[in-house]
Amino acid sequence: MTITLRAQIIIFILLLQDVIQIHVYATKLITSFATAALHPTSSLSCCLSTSSSSLRSSITSETTTCNHESDKSGVIYQSEEQYYMTMSSSNNKSNTNNKKKGKRLILIRHGTSIANEFMDRPGNRWGDATFTDDGNLVDAPLSQTGIIQAKELQEKMKQFFHHYDSTNDNNMDGTKYKSQQINIDNNLLVVTSPLTRCIETMMIGVIPNLVSPEHDITMKMVVQPLATERVYTASDTGRSVSKLQIDFPQLDFHSCFVEQNIDPHSWWYTTNGNDNIEEWRPFGDGQYYAVPGEPLYHFNQRMVKLFQWIQSREEHTIILVCHWGVIRWLTGEDVKNCDVNELNFDRLVLKPDILESSL
């Protein structure tokens, strides 16, 4: 069989790409061995595992096409070796020691909302040609299913908490408790998106674990507008702070809104009269949206501000009840309603291109 010149060229290019790819993976493997040499406590098997994981991640990122532009994470999660190398490079030894455990960030996605159920109906799912947004679903609350999920979350979250006993000095560093447990003291901050489905999830699923009749502890519970969902549909737009305060008077709506200089009457994304925003949501087949979608650049800017705000906080543990899009941006992971995702925030590093584009 005669192979045409064009076919020969294509085969040559494919082989060349394979050679380049193998070189890249070999470089990563060598780097991992070098890291292991610098850190004798890291075993060779751990080194190989890390390299294999990096290789798999590279293959996945190169061969998988994202279904949506918001699927892109805005951060890089450092390996344990990279994290400790960064810490050890600090000239401030005491600062390094304080950060060994890192700031804990516990991300919780809200329970199922009425809008989630509305968009789960056949023919009205995201991307369907017959998708029709409902303008009456502004700030949609939890559905009955969502309330049940939030109650189950309350049971799930019990494993994370214990109450701080000032009479026992050992409690101050958690030495008598499992590593995943949280001291309920001034080193804990509970944060929620201003959208009602998140506030309700927090009030049902998280706060009951922080209330102890034996201890008079004033919890820090703040509402952070930077943590709201990217505006996809009407349900991702909200209500004014004055209306939210009537329903949830116990929450701090003031601090973050003032600090971030955000309008308490209209804190979600709007076009501000600019109607030339390019449509990025599925369209052209008959889809209808009741509100303009939040552009990716705007969402990235907001997420960078949220990241920097978390970074600036002094609390050791931050619980953030928020949304699929926010958690996806911070972790790159897909999460279901009321999923709990715990990570060491200090190992997160903003991607350079994301940081540059947000300036």
Structural domain boundaries of the chain? Answer: 1-64, 73-358
5-38 and 44-63 are packed helices; what angle lies between their axes, rounded to 10 degrees? 150
Asked if 352 and 326 count as a contact pair (C-beta separation under 8 A), the reply is no
DSSP state letter for 230: P
pLDDT in tens, 142-169: 999 999 999 999 999 988 776 544 444 3
pLDDT in tens, 127-145: 999 999 999 999 999 999 9
Average pLDDT over residues 221-235: 97
Extract the tokens encoding 355.
Answer: 């940081």
In the block, tokens 């060598």 appear at: 30
Q: What pLDDT is attached to residue 5? A: 60
DSSP state letter for 137: G
What pTM, to 2 d.p., does this model score? 0.73
Q: What pLDDT is attached to residue 29? A: 44
- In the chain, the percentage of residues whose pLDDT exceeds 70 is 64
Half-sphere exposure of 202 (CA within 13 A, CB side): 28
Answer yes or no: is pLDDT of 32 > 80.
no
Average pLDDT over residues 80-86: 65
Q: Which residues on adjacent β-strands are paired with residue 288? A: 132
In the block, tokens 């944060």 appear at: 191
The SS3 of residue 343 is strand
Bigger pLDDT: 214 or 330? 330
Bigger pLDDT: 41 or 240? 240
pLDDT in tens, 167-187: 443 333 333 333 356 666 778
Q: Which CATH class is domain 73-358?
A: alpha beta
The model's confidence at residue 220, banded by pLDDT at 50, 70 and 90, is: confident
33-42, 56-65, 78-87, 266-275 — which one is most confidently predicted on average? 266-275
